[in-house]
Amino acid sequence: MSMSSVEPLPCCAPVLRAELSQADAVALAAAFKAIADPARLRLLSFLAAQPSGEACVCFLTGPLGLSQPTVSHHLKVLFAAGLLDRERRGTWVYYRLVPARMAALRAALTAAPRARTARRARAR
């Protein structure tokens, strides 16, 4: 599952394209706060790299070198921010990225083509 092929959710106005409303700023800040931790970034990267696009919580402790309660806490934060989806299968919980939410964060920081062109022209 490629995140680049997913259209961003219209949840928030792009930061570099329009002024943010208070609600959009709060929503974006919460999501960026959730990923502002090295372990959480590594979890997102690990999940994105999985061929199936998902991983059982039992497989996430080893690659990170963290205890299961710590990994579970980080997954809970990412889930609460809407960046992960989860599915219980028996006693195990499997996590996967929410591509549309990740694309929305990426889009919020992407400059409009016109803005990039204008910056290049000023730099010359």
| Residues 6+ away with beta carbon under 8 Å from 37 | 74, 77
Segment 111-124 shows an average pLDDT of 57
pLDDT tens per residue, range 29-73? 889 999 999 999 999 999 999 999 999 988 999 988 999 999 999
Q: Are 97 and 47 in contact (CB under 8 A)?
A: yes
Find the angle CA(25)-CA(27)-CA(31) to the nearest 5 degrees: 115
The domain made up of 19-123 has a fold known as Arc Repressor Mutant, subunit A (1.10.10)
Q: Given this model, what pLDDT does residue 94 score?
A: 95
Q: Domain segments of the chain: what residues?
A: 19-123
Q: Given this model, what pLDDT does residue 122 score?
A: 60
- Asked if pLDDT for residue 116 goes beyond 60, the answer is no
Q: Between the CA of residue 15 and those of 24, 64, 111, 113, 114, what are the distances in Å?
A: 9, 32, 8, 14, 14
- Count Cβ atoms within 10 A of the Cβ of residue 20 and give its class: 0-12 exposed, 13-18 middle, 19 or more buried: middle
